[in-house]
Chains A and B, each alone.
Chain A
Amino acid sequence: AQSVTQPDIHITVSEGASLELRCNYSYGATPYLFWYVQSPGQGLQLLLKYFSGDTLVQGIKGFEAEFKRSQSSFNLRKPSVHWSDAAEYFCAVGGYQKVTFGIGTKLQVIP
């Protein structure tokens, strides 16, 4: 069965600091991996996705993620966080159709 672990439920960073959100997955084959962001009361917005090829994936809003097969990880990074990045971030793994989401990491940005 596929699963996603986001070990950090809540992270606080200072504006301008770098950010890394952790994601580990379990999947039987080559996974499709996603990062989504959700602002309070809003739907999901896709930040980036990995299907194959280059293991370093660039996304929107200055985010990137690196797929490491040996570690079953797909961590999300941003070099300099902005106050508007405060939101909930979900890592997800999927195959042909079914996508499984992690529990989410809530990001708080302090001035």
Chain B
Amino acid sequence: GAVVSQHPSWVICKSGTSVKIECRSLDFQATTMFWYRQFPKQSLMLMATSNEGSKATYEQGVEKDKFLINHASLTLSTLTVTSAHPEDSSFYICSAYLLAGVRYEQYFGPGTRLTVT
């Protein structure tokens, strides 16, 4: 099946610094990727839809200037958390959208745990 990777799997950074998380589709091209955030013991909340070659579409309440998304190629989307603060500590999961015929499926990455100290 299709595989999506994320790097890094975990990261610790100091408050005020920026962190970049990569999401790659390893064996297929994904024109659309999604970024989710999961707080402890809660569900996944969609942050934004990342489209190759165009600006990301952010969900209501998500600060686009804080969570920068770049989808420069058909296999790579990046999420940069700028000027990170402890409240940004969370589990970030990406997914890549694959359309096969008339059906689609999202393939999820393993997630990145961000801790801001």
Show the binding face of A for B, using Cβ within 8 Å: 32, 36, 41-46, 49, 51, 90, 94, 96-104
Closest 8 CB pairs of A and B: A43-B110, A43-B111, A44-B108, A103-B43, A101-B43, A101-B44, A104-B43, A43-B108
A44 touching B93 by the CB < 8 A rule?
A: yes
Task: State how many residues of chain B have any CB contact under 8 Å with chain A.
Answer: 20
B111 touching A96 by the CB < 8 A rule?
A: no
Who on chain B is nearest to A98 by CB?
B46
Other A-B contacts than A43-B6, A90-B44, A98-B46, 20 sampled, CB-CB below 8 A, are A42-B110, A43-B109, A43-B111, A45-B108, A46-B105, A46-B108, A49-B105, A51-B103, A90-B43, A94-B106, A96-B104, A97-B32, A97-B104, A98-B49, A99-B46, A99-B106, A100-B46, A102-B43, A103-B42, A104-B43
B79-96 with Cβ < 8 A to chain A: 93, 95
- Set of chain A residues within 8 Å of B32, measured between Cβ atoms: 97
Show the binding face of B for A, using Cβ within 8 Å: 6, 32, 34, 42-44, 46, 49, 93, 95, 97, 103-106, 108-111, 113
B49 touching A97 by the CB < 8 A rule?
A: yes
- Set of chain A residues within 8 Å of B106, measured between Cβ atoms: 94, 99
Who on chain A is nearest to B108 by CB?
A44
- Set of chain A residues within 8 Å of B93, measured between Cβ atoms: 43-44
B105 touching A41 by the CB < 8 A rule?
A: no
CB distance from A40 to the nearest CB of B (A): 10
